[in-house]
Amino acid sequence: MLLPEEIKFIQEHLQEDATRIALSAKKYPHLDIKKLAGQIQARQKLADKMPTWAANEAICFPQQISLEQASSEATARFKALIVEGTLIDITGGMGVDTWAFAQKCTHVTYVEQQATLAQHTQYNHNILGLDNVTHIQGNGLEHLEQLYDWIYVDPARRDQQGNKVILFKDCQPNVLEILDKVDTSKILIKTSPVLDISRAIQELGGVEKVYVVAYQQEVKELLFIKSAESSLDPVIEIVELANSPVTLFQGKLSEEREATMQIADSDTYVYEAHPALLKAGFFKLVQGDDVWQLGKHTHLYSSNQYVNEFPGKKYTVVATGPVQPDWIKAHLPDLRVNITTKNFPLKADALRTKLKLKDGGEYTLFAIQNSEEKNALILCKKCP
C-alpha cells in the first residue's frame, strides 16, 4: 500500500499543510502527490483519535468517509473489555474495533463488503501485527453459519438511497436479521448517540445492558448487548472514558420513572449533569438525597453541601439575580463570562449580545428557568 519512498515523503512533510502539498504535484512527477497529501492529512487529523495507528509510519489510511465513521482507539478499547472468546465483526470497516477485539479475544473474524476497504484493512492489520484475525470480503450476514461467542455489528444509519434512518430495521445491515443468533452468541451493537435508547430497547425486544459511552464530556456512541438474558428494563451504564474509573453512573429507566423530582432554588453549589446522563434520560435519578433540580425542565442541580460524587461539573454560586444589565454590571465589572443556557428562551450567543458581555474568564453564567418558572441568572465559579 505504501512504498518506502512514499513513507519517507510522508514523514518528511508530516507537519506541513496538506492542501499546499497537493497543489505541488508538478514538483514530484514520480510520486502520487494526491494520495500522499491525503495520507498526511489523515495522520494530522487522527493523531488524537487514533494515536497508535497515526504513529505507525507504514499504515495506509483509506478514504475520508471511512476515517469519519471509524471508532476512536479509546472507544474501541472499551468495547474490547466487554467481549471475550471468539468474535465476528460483520461490519468491519476500517478495522479499528477489530484491532481492539483481537487484543482481547482468542480469534476475530473481520467481514467487510467493500473490496477496496477490506484490502486496506487487511494490510493495516498485518502492519499492526495481528495474527488472530481472519479477513473476509463480503456480506457479513452471509457469514454467520459458524458459531461465535460474540457477534459485533456497527450498522450504517443510512438506507440504500443514502437517507438517514432511525430504526434498526432500516439500517445496513438490518440488525433484526441476526437476533435469532442469541441462543448461541451474544450480540454487541454499536449505534450513533442520536438513537433513542427506549425505542431501540423495544425494537430489539429487550437487551441485557446498555452503555452510553462518552469521552471528554461528549457522547460518542451507544452500545447494546443482546443476549439470552435480555430485558425490556436493562441496566444503563454511563461511561466517561476520560475518567478513572470510567463508570459515572448506572440505573434503569423504571427507576427513573419512579423517582421523585425535587425542585427548589439554587443554594451554595450548582451542578451541571454530564451530557451522557441527560442522553440516558436520568434527570431525576441523579439527584440522590441531597441534590435538587432548579426547574422541571431545566436539568441544572443544586445543594447546600458539596457533593463530590455528583456525575458532572461542579460550581460554587457567587450570586443569583434577574436577567438585567444592571445586575450583571454590579456583579461582573469586566463583563467577561462563559454562558450556558438551560431551559431558557435565548441561546448563549444571543444572551451575550443582549447583555453586552464578552466571552471567557473565570466565571460561568447560567441562564435558566427557575423553580417558579421565571427566567433567572446564576453567576458561578467552577470548583477546583
Per-residue pLDDT of the chain (384 residues; tens, 9 = 90+): 899 999 999 999 999 999 999 988 888 889 999 999 999 999 999 999 999 999 999 999 987 777 777 889 999 999 999 999 999 999 999 999 999 999 999 999 999 999 999 999 999 999 999 999 999 999 999 999 999 999 999 998 766 666 676 778 878 888 898 998 888 899 999 998 989 999 999 999 999 999 999 999 999 999 999 999 999 999 999 999 999 999 999 999 999 999 999 999 999 999 999 999 999 999 999 998 899 999 989 999 999 999 999 999 999 999 999 999 999 999 998 999 999 999 999 999 999 999 999 999 999 999 999 999 999 999 999 998
pTM over 0.85: yes
Round to whole Å and give the CA distance between 153 and 173.
8
For residues 36 and 10, is the Cβ–Cβ distance under 8 A?
yes
CATH 3.40.50.10440 fits 68-253, yes or no: no
Q: 3-state SS of 99-161? A: HHHHCCCCEEEEEECCHHHHHHHHHHHHHCCCCCEEEEECCHHHHCCCCCCEEEECCECECCC
Assess contact for 114 and 62: CB atoms under 8 A: no
Give pLDDT, residue 161: 65
Domain residue limits, the chain:
4-66, 68-253, 259-382
**Residue type (1 letter), 331:** H
The pLDDT value given to residue 288:
80
Centre a 10 Å sphere on the Cβ of residue 341 and count the other Cβ atoms it contains. Answer: 19
At residue 208, the 3 state secondary structure works out as: coil
Alpha carbons 128 and 304: distance in angstroms, whole number: 53
- The secondary structure of residue 337, as a DSSP letter, is -
Residues 76/223, Cβ–Cβ less than 8 Å: no
